Amino acid sequence: MLYAALAGTSARVLLAWSGIGASLAWRIEVSTASNSNLELREGLALLRLGVSPYSGTSCRTPPLALWLYGALADHDLLYILPNTILDLLAASLLYRLASYLLKCPSSSGQSAETSEDAQVDDSANGDCSAVKGSMDRCLRSALPTALAWAYLLNPFALAASAGGTTSSLENLALVTALYGACTSHPALAALGLAAASYMSLHAAVLLLPLACLLAYGPEDVVTPLRLLGPCHKGSAIHAGAPGVGVGAALGSCDGGTAGGEDSPGKAKPALIKDGKLLKEQQQKAQHELSKEMNRAAEGEIRDSPSDRATMETRTLPQSSAPLPPLPSLPVLPWRQLLQCTLLAASMLFLFVCASDLYLLSSPLPTGIGVRADADDGSTAMCILGAAKQLITPPTMTTGTAAGEVARRLAAAGDSLASCWAVRIYSSQVLLDDATPNIGQWWYLAMEAFDDTKTYIRVMAHSLLFALAPPLAMRLGVRRPLALFLIQLLCVGFLKPYPSVADLGLMAPLLLLLGRQQLAALRLRLLLPASLALLGVLGPAMQRMWLSYESANSNFFYSITLLYGLWQVVLLGQVLGLTLWVDRLARGKERLLDERPDERRQEAQKSTTMPEADGAKS
């Protein structure tokens, strides 16, 4: 972790010192309407002149971000210091999160049982399992450090930090929320969610994954894929590694001790808590099977319709215990959801109050005795001004009563429009900034007719919030950590003003799924290669459009569409592999594989029964 911190700090200082960071602040892939360093500096300049930075559309940065970045925003080199500190804090939280997931009760218990079975298998199968077990332990111990390195040195996080954007603050808030939810600290999770929603309104959609993490805890991310089941092509059964079976998945997730039905000697359960009990079950099953075969050979089964039906419906005894019934759980964790909502709303209210205090207490420049804006953009003053416009009696009665009401409502609306919260969040909701970015909505907001913009706004926000409940109902109980990452991918894809900083956060978080979901990923070369190609074509098309004027906006928008397609493919891969791993861990893949064998056995019985009846007659 120390070397990663030194390397990340050195890289950020080098980018700022070389002047690359100043040029990155103008890149539309890095700087957007919601995190721009240029708007941050303009808002600070207006505030120092005694003018509200939210009186127009020049600043969309929250007041507390102005306070945090204000001291060093104009410095040529030290402007990188706040983002560097925030990134170091986020990397340390990621390091602690990975360490906690490796040491949590579910993961540690399963890992201990797996190591015990690996030792038993080593005595019978040589040193192959010992080598693989040591490699697994090395990979587990390297996971926290890998997360820190991946966050501090990936090019997307470096570009966002060197460009002076406020994305580092938002990423720290998201990591704080995830860490608090995984460690069962509702106040910390609510604090991170409130801070992320304060910076970007669409982060509120992560409330459901955080509530699921608080209710059910994170899933096991330590057990490798080869120990979950025999269905994967790269699993230990197909590769010849010993000590791996379906019982690993059943023991880890459902508490069962299921083993192979047809070949009990080829695949030994990896997570069996009592090997003696397993041997007794196998011996009992073999005894019953041999007894049944002897009875059939000696003709003890009488030729009667009831006995024939009994034999046709009889199945071979299984050597594994049946799966326990799933507990009846609510559709959504309502108690944790309500608790997290109340805590996040309370902390968001505190952020709003602190923002108003900062705006009202900002010093006036020398020579100016009165502010140019009386309310200074604070929420409380704007609400009081709107209320005053509504309750103040008119000085003279001119026009009709309806006209007077309309005039008062218009005056109250103008007073509320100067509020910083309205300026910031209305821009994210109404999509009023059509500056090109790497998202999917700027082109539609720019080219659409006025009567269709409402439909585009509704579609842009409803898609994101409509995906949250079904994903939570399917993955919230068994895969809440994967649910958080999938929902974070959806936010980066569907929010109005995305940037490369979203990928800078997702890259290390996806490493948490590296031992299970990403181990079965088939597009390991296509995804990074296509992303590198888009990273080259995007700036080229933008330069052809805006600098050389040899192309139009369709050229650049085609690249953003391809980038959106890349995100959809990544989201589909992560979601599909999560569902597949969940079925594999619950033993459903084993049952699906056994059904053809059962149908084949039933068909053989149905063909042999008439022959036996004819011979007996």
On average, the pLDDT of the chain sits at 77
Containing domain of residue 556, as a range? Answer: 2-223+455-588
Distance CA(35)–CA(47), nearest Å, equals 18
Is residue 451's pLDDT more than 50? yes
Q: Do residues 463 and 495 make contact, with C-beta atoms less than 8 angstroms apart?
A: no
Confidence check: pLDDT of 603 > 70: no
How far apart, in whole angstroms, are the C-alpha atoms of residue 263 and residue 42? 72
Cα(535)–Cα(553) distance, integer angstroms: 17
In this model, does residue 250 exceed pLDDT 60? no
pLDDT at res. 559: 94
- The secondary structure of the chain in percent helix, strand, coil, rounded to multiples of 5, reads 70, 0, 30
More confident residue, 549 or 296: 549
Q: CB–CB of 181/101 below 8 Å?
A: no
Establish if 462 belongs to a structural domain.
yes
Cα–Cα distance measured from residue 483 to residue 575, given in angstroms and rounded to the nearest whole number = 9
Per-residue pLDDT band for 266 (boundaries 50, 70, 90) equals very low
- Report pTM: 0.76
Buried b (16+ CB within 10 A) or exposed e, 38-72: ebbbbbbebbeebbbbbbeeebbbbbbbbbbbbee
Does residue 86 form part of some domain?
A: yes
Q: Is residue 446 part of a domain?
A: no
Contact 354, 64 (CB under 8 A): yes
Note the pLDDT of residue 220: 87
Is residue 502 situated within a structural domain?
Answer: yes
- Residue 147 covered by a domain: yes
Residue 59 lies in a domain: yes
Q: What is the pLDDT, as a whole number, of residue 260?
A: 38
Give pLDDT, residue 394.
63
Q: Which residues contact 607 (CB under 8 A, 6 or more apart)?
A: none
Asked if residue 51 has pLDDT above 90, the reply is no
Within 8 A by CB and 6+ apart from 381, the residues are 356, 360, 374, 375
Specify the DSSP element, H or E, that contains 27. none
Q: Is the predicted pLDDT of residue 103 greater than 70, yes or no?
A: yes
Judge whether 29 lies within some domain. yes
Place of tokens 């340390």: 92
Tell whether the model's pLDDT for residue 251 goes beyond 70. Answer: no
How far is residue 584's CA from residue 152's CA, in Å, rounded to a whole number?
A: 34
The pLDDT of residue 240: 34
Burial class (CB in 10 A: 0-12, 13-18, 19+), 326: exposed
Cα–Cα dist 435/556, whole Å = 12
Question: Would you say residue 378 lies in a domain?
Answer: no
Q: CA–CA distance from 377 to each of 175, 371, 423 (Å)?
A: 30, 11, 9
* Count of structural domains, the chain: 1
Closest CA to 15 of 30, 2, 35: 30
* Per-residue pLDDT tens over the stretch 507-524: 999 999 888 888 888 888
Supply the pLDDT for residue 263: 38
Q: Within a 10 A sphere around the Cβ of 411, how many other Cβ atoms?
A: 16
* Separation CA 87–CA 167 (nearest Å): 10
What is the pLDDT, as a whole number, of residue 133? Answer: 53
- Cα 74 to Cα 50, 160, 346, 432, 599, distances in angstroms: 18, 17, 33, 28, 74
Q: Phi/psi at 18 (nearest 5 deg)?
A: -80, -10
Q: What is the pLDDT of residues 372-386, one digit of tens each?
A: 554 567 777 777 776
Q: What burial class does residue 525 get, using C-beta atoms within 10 Å of its C-beta: 0-12 exposed, 13-18 middle, 19+ buried?
A: exposed
Amino acid at 9: T
What SS3 class is residue 332? Answer: coil
